[in-house]
Amino acid sequence: MAQHYDIIGDIHGCNNTLISMLEALGYAKKSDYYQHPNRKVIFVGDFIDRGPLQLETIRTVRAMVAANQAHAVMGNHEFNAIAYITPDKVEGGYLRAHTSRNRRNHRAFLQAMEQHPEQYEDVINWFKTLPLWLDLGNLRIVHACWDQLGIDQISETYSADGLMDEALFIASNDPSKWEFHVVENLLKGKTIKLLNNHTFTDPNGITRDNMRIRWWDNKATTYKSAFMGAARDIEHINDTAIDTEHLIIYEEDEVPLLIGHYWMQDEPALLAPNIACVDYSIAKRNGKLCAYRWDGESKLDSAKFICVPRLES
């Protein structure tokens, strides 16, 4: 019997909105988890940070995964949370430095952990069980970018199921290692440096000298056409040609790929006939939580997105 999946985007501590989405999709609560008679959920990561209901969100997702009603992959925010608490045995301190900027980005999650310190280790250990990608044969899930060469490297060197052991995690926090660059692609997307020391300020107020790109798009041959980000920022990007070696490419005859991460806006639309992003900026006050209802199709259909508005104040 074919499996039917509902792929839900980044949640960022908005558990009330997540419950609204599950109910809109026809899931009902049984005991401590939500289930559907003939569907399962796949979560694309980024359960934490920003929103007000950190532990509640983790409990909802974790209960569904434990009951085999859902799969989940790691997002960059879960990866960062692990690194934030993991000692750096070489340089001292932690693998993710405790700078004011990093503390600010993790504030909501850290405050939740301060209120429930007895749960901190258990939550982090659960994050460590999340795979970097999910390949179901006729459907693929990754948080930001399907880097097949990188996935092959990790599979051959570490684990074919995308799980991170300690050695891979340590290496993926070291910019001198190939593992760092592969995991950056998978969880944060492909980026390129801007020309002539150019910078722009992203929606989080962070000054950037690089930009996320449409890594799958072989038509993205200029900085402007390759830019992946807020519409307000594209006017600051030059329309200068770039070397197409920056592309990773995901061919249109490959199986459908669902991603999150990119803070999309407006009405949901496909990125390519076989690629959809389900992150529609839930962390913003006027954002929404989106999902894609997949029923085995090899070409995706924009009519199969479903969204609910953010409920958290």
What confidence tens digit (pLDDT) does each residue in 39-50 have? 999 999 999 999
44-58, 141-155, 162-176, 221-235: range with lowest mean pLDDT: 221-235
Q: pLDDT tens for residues 205-233?
A: 788 899 999 999 988 999 999 999 877 88
Separation of alpha carbons 110 and 96, rounded Å: 14
pLDDT at 203: 67
Rounded CA separation 258/294 (Å): 10
pLDDT confidence band for 155 (50 / 70 / 90): very high
How confident is the model at residue 93, as a pLDDT?
97
Beta-strand pair 288-294/305-309 = antiparallel
Residue 204 has pLDDT above 80, yes or no: no
Q: What is the pLDDT of residues 237-273, one digit of tens each?
A: 888 998 767 889 899 999 999 999 999 988 999 999 9
For range 198-206, the mean pLDDT: 78
| Alpha-carbon torsion, ordered 263, 247, 44, 54, to 10 deg | -50
At a CB cut-off of 8 Å and minimum separation 6, what does 106 contact?
49, 80, 81, 84
Least confident of 146-160, 208-222, 286-300: 208-222
Q: Residue 231 has what pLDDT? A: 78
Instruction: State the pLDDT at residue 18.
Output: 99
Provide mean pLDDT across the span 56-78: 99
Predicted pLDDT of residue 230 = 77
> Does residue 262 sit in helix, strand or coil?
coil
In the predicted structure, residue 196 carries a pLDDT above the cut 90 = no
Percent of the chain residues past pLDDT 90, beyond the cut: 85
Distance CA 113, CA 121 (A): 9
Q: Average pLDDT for residues 89-108, to the nearest whole number?
A: 96
pLDDT at residue 1 in the model: 60
Using alpha carbons only, give the angle 255, 261, 263 rounded to the nearest 5 degrees: 120
Average pLDDT, the chain: 95
* Domain ranges, ordered by start, for the chain: 5-190+248-309
What's the CATH number of domain 5-190+248-309, 3.30.70.20, 3.40.50.720, 3.60.21.10, 3.40.50.300?
3.60.21.10
What stretches of the chain show up as alpha helix (H) in DSSP?
15-24, 54-66, 76-85, 100-105, 107-115, 120-127, 148-157, 166-171, 178-188, 223-226
Q: What is the pLDDT of residue 2?
A: 73
Taking the whole predicted model, whether its pTM rises above 0.75 is answered as: yes
